[in-house]
Amino acid sequence: MRAEPHSSCSGRSFADNHPRRPPLRRALITGAASGLAAGIAPALARDGFARIAITYRNTLPHATLAAIEAAGAQGVAQRLDFLDDAAEVEKILNEMIRAFGPFDTLVHGVGPLVAKRFAASTLEDYRLAFEGNVRSAVLAARATLPAMRVAGFGRVVFFAAHGAANSRSFRGLSFYQAAKSALIVFARTLAIEEAPSGITVNLVAPGDISDKRIDRVEARKRTALNPRGRAGSYEDVSDAVRFLVAEERDFITGAVIEVTGGLQTSAERKAQDK
């Protein structure tokens, strides 16, 4: 059951502060058939989103859709490769908006990891890093922001990389870190430009996140190295996203939220493990 607007101690209501809040929340979550985004989709459904549309590339979306619907929301999925021709990507996104939108929330989960030292890298690696992380975000934003401007409300979350906010360098991640740094600048610029329209734009930068596929030795290593005494979880990341997309979170924008447990070297270790 969704909460109704309530009065604050000052006598001003939630609706007074947010006069154009959407009556039903609708989210577009890209790359949500697997990985972090797959956990975010049902989390938003539990928070009261009415409809959640997801995109997928290779992994079939059935498990994510089932989790969304079990949490009480309508789930829909569309296959979309953000590395395809830009015009085709925009066409599919616009078709999704017409069929399932408009969306007041965009969580862009697409962002391929390219882990190679520069000497071994190719121009295809460069294309994958920048088109997969930066161009894909540009296309997703171009498609979804117009409706948010009209509504006077919007929440956008991108995924950064640990250390990219400070232009930190890591061996084996030259293209990837450069692309994520570019994404941060893009997102922060959007945050400034879209703030008058009631749209917030933020980023989440995950650190070491536990994965069932890693062996016990690696799991113990990650636990020992993290100041919190454990690796991060998918829930840690989804909690950060849930915080940022909440209706009342209208004064936090242009931020990079690091979900690392205080760990400082996760990206470097990922590169060395390749």
**pTM score of the predicted model:** 0.83
Q: Share the mean pLDDT of the chain.
A: 85
| 48-52 average pLDDT score | 97
Structure confidence at residue 133 (pLDDT): 97
| 147-152 average pLDDT score | 98
SS3 annotation, the chain? CCCCCCECCCCCEHHHHCCCCCCCCEEEEECCCCHHHHHHHHHHHHCCCCEEEEEECCCCCHHHHHHHHHCCCEEEEEECCCCCCHHHHHHHHHHHHHHHCCCCEEEECCCCCCCECHHHCCHHHHHHHHHHHHHHHHHHHHHHHHHHHHHCCEEEEEECCCCHHHCCCCCCEHHHHHHHHHHHHHHHHHHHHHHHHCEEEEEEEECCECCCCCCHHHHHHHHHHCCCCCCECHHHHHHHHHHHHCCCCCCCCCCEEEECCCCCCHHHHHHHHC
All structural domains of the chain, each given as residue ranges with its CATH number in brackets, are 20-273 (3.40.50.720)
| 90-112 average pLDDT score | 97
